[in-house]
A and B are shown apart, each in its own frame.
Chain A
């Protein structure tokens, strides 16, 4: 092919242009560490990265949900323990009252029980992050309301909440209950914490009855009625403590799974989008060498012509 004066110059410009473009691309890849920056760099890869990133963000949200549930479960656990202690003490008093003859002693136990009832109401109305924990989905009003007699003693405790619980997603398609209803007398759904028709538990009513029997000195009723009833309540608390433990274990497992999956997603995004730095630098080096060679030889060729040798 015949090569003319401008063929050299034009070709050199094209070659230098290509090498500059390539250097720019590789330099950007080295500086950002990314193979994909814009969708056009690798449309399919970008599509996969977007899917993975979305999964990552969803997993992060699940982790936040898990930590929120865990927090709630831990607070609930403390309440359960407190209630269990009250239940234990009430049981003790019931047993002790069986062997007591003195009316004064019975009265003293009755007074203690009054305090225990108030303490239990307070515990059952525990709030966490603006929500009453044991009112079902009626979270904005105190679930338990005590009625007092003229002497300031609790005569009954009314439940203001419902037996519904809200569920929170901790993984795709997997939702766990975020609450324990205070009372469930419907015979189905989640078990009530203080009263449940299926187990016979009705903590406040039983405490009030025990206190009244203590006041009346009716040790017979305490023996035959109150002690077995309090046993039902205790079993109900034990069930809730155990269920809470299981729930926390599930949350831990779910959190671990989410974390592992998130790490996997990070790794996959990295595989798709990140540049192989070693390879990029080697290629950049090669391109720079080619660029220098093109400049040098181009300069040499362009400078020379027949003109240099004609006088």
Chain B
């Protein structure tokens, strides 16, 4: 039997319990907009019973724990999907820049295809137009080999083409330097996050040792950090029995309990190909996350585009110089190179020609200024399959380069869209488990409020009873 004082005590404990409930509800409401937060619930348990002649009698309830509602599987999946999303988003971002750098946009308002050819002001700034312009200028010189005006136009078109090559190579190389900088920044971010996760592991272990129940809010914070880290690389996070999370990447341990096992660093694997390794010098193979996205875009579509541009410029220089070298200029000279340089970055029109267009070697024989055999041979290079370019013409090869880059970006766009859908679905699923519902919390609050009021009533009733008992003596 509890007696009046026991019952009063039970009422007081109940008041405390309901208050804890209200407090947890308040905590949930306060974190309603915190995406890292998992809703918490108070776990009540009936107090120990006491034996009475009537049998075991209850002594009320007590709060045994404040637990959070989380689904570990969904949390892990979200980390993985965040990595994949970041991987594709990084590719998308870089390829968009590469596409813009290439400048091969279509502007139908600027003129028809025929107008594009005649005026050269079609609003398109890509290499395709420059290539056409060069071969058309060869044609024009072939039609009037002795015309200095046509030769001047040819020189300008050739300069424009060379400059466009230089610009494209510069932009794509610049993009690669940006990637290197970004790799460094991201490796630093990874190191910061692993340090934070190790520190949180320490705090969680210490908190959970000294107090009963899980360190909910610290765990929320750690999950948030893990998800952030997951955006950079493909990680495996395994929680041990002490509640600490060990983080590894493809079997390489980055966070071991309360310590950062191996920080990351960036190193030059040769020819400016910066890669990621751990501080013990082991290269770190990455398959997902923005770091992998950066490296794979750089070594994949971007490197491919740059290599193809260099191949194209190299083949163009070789073919044009071979044909041009055999011709004769207006002064009877022969053997001059048309282009100088070896690739897209170094190609430029021979300074001699730039200064004096009459040095262009249009004639196939000496002493016949009206002969156009060399100019015609140069013009016909436009439709000649080049063995160095996989038996494609210059323009076909360039169009293929544009298509390849476009396809890589289109693929990244599709994947980003798919990933968004997957991630959104997972977030909804996690929200369904861990998210705070205002309606639910309000109901909980009303529930606790009513229980609190009822408990208070119990206390006042027992108080009245005690008053009655005390007044019996008077």
Contact = CB atoms under 8 A, between A and B. Distances in A.
Residue of A49, A61, A172 most packed against chain B (CB within 10 A): A61
Interface stretch (B9-17, B214-222, B248-256, B434-442): B434-442
Contact of B370 (A10, A179, A266): A179
A55 B382 CA distance: 11
A50 interface: yes
Contact of A166 (B372, B402, B424, B435): B372
A310 B446 contact: yes
Contact of B363 (A41, A137, A306): A137
B433 interface: yes
B139 interface: yes
Interface in A60-106: 60-65, 68-69
Given A61-B140, A139-B370, A43 B407 contact: yes
B171 to A, nearest CB: 15
Contacts of A136: 368, 370
Interface in B349-368: 363, 365, 367-368
B437 A37 contact: no
Interface in A161-178: 162, 164, 166-169, 172, 175, 178
B142 to A, nearest CB: 6
A10 B341 CA distance: 55
B205 interface: no
B116 interface: yes
Contacts of B433: 2
A60 B118 contact: yes
A47 B402 contact: yes
A6 B431 contact: yes
A266 B113 CA distance: 6
Contacts of B436: 4-6
A38 interface: yes
Given A37-B105, A40-B99, A7 B403 contact: no
Size bracket, chain A contacts: 35 or more
A7 B433 CA distance: 11
Interface stretch (A28-36, A117-125, A148-156, A205-213): A28-36
Given A46-B402, A57-B136, A169-B142, A135 B370 contact: yes
A131 to B, nearest CB: 6
Interface in B433-474: 433, 435-440, 442-443, 446
Interface string A129-150: 1110001111110000000000
Given A5-B437, A65-B143, A47 B399 contact: yes
B435 A46 contact: no
Contact of A131 (B96, B146, B431): B146
Contacts, number: 237
Interface string A1-45: 111111100110010000000000000000011101111111110
Contacts of B52: none
Given A138-B367, A140-B146, A266-B113, A6 B435 contact: yes
Contact of A61 (B136, B145, B428, B442): B136
Size bracket, chain B contacts: 35 or more
Contact of B102 (A39, A138, A273): A39
A17 to B, nearest CB: 9
A39 B104 contact: yes
A164 B147 CA distance: 19
Nearest to A50: B399
Interface string B189-208: 00000000000000000000
A137 B369 contact: yes
B47 to A, nearest CB: 31
Contact of B382 (A58, A138, A310): A58
A166 B370 contact: yes
B395 A54 contact: yes
A185 interface: no
B371 interface: yes
B33 interface: yes
Contacts of A1: 428-429, 432
B368 A43 contact: no
Residue of B117, B118, B402, B429 most packed against chain A (CB within 10 A): B117
A41 B396 CA distance: 19
A227 interface: no
A39 B145 contact: no
B400 interface: yes
Contact of A56 (B116, B399, B431): B116
Residue of B118, B406, B420, B440 most packed against chain A (CB within 10 A): B406
Contacts of B282: none
A175 B372 CA distance: 12
A305 interface: yes
A150 B442 CA distance: 126
A284 interface: no
A37 B113 contact: no
Contact of B368 (A33, A50, A162, A305): A162
B379 interface: yes
B173 interface: no
Nearest to A44: B403
B91 to A, nearest CB: 12
B210 interface: no
B405 interface: yes
A166 B371 contact: yes
B106 A262 contact: no
Contacts of B440: 4
Contacts of B99: 38-40
A165 B251 CA distance: 76
Contact of A51 (B95, B143, B396): B396
Contact of A4 (B146, B379, B405, B432): B432
Contacts of B271: none
Given A57-B113, A130-B147, A306-B438, A6 B35 contact: yes
B74 interface: no
Contacts of A244: none
Nearest to B421: A14
A269 interface: yes
Nearest to A21: B417
B116 A53 contact: yes
B376 A167 contact: yes
B117 A56 contact: yes
B140 A140 contact: no
B426 to A, nearest CB: 12
A229 to B, nearest CB: 30
A259 to B, nearest CB: 9
Given A2-B437, A7-B432, 14 more contacts: A4-B432, A5-B436, A40-B96, A40-B406, A40-B413, A44-B403, A47-B399, A47-B402, A50-B402, A53-B113, A61-B117, A137-B370, A137-B372, A266-B113
25 contacts: A7-B432, A39-B99, A40-B95, A43-B407, A43-B410, A44-B403, A46-B104, A46-B406, A51-B399, A53-B132, A55-B113, A56-B116, A57-B133, A59-B117, A60-B136, A61-B140, A62-B139, A129-B147, A130-B146, A166-B370, A166-B373, A167-B372, A169-B380, A172-B383, A269-B113
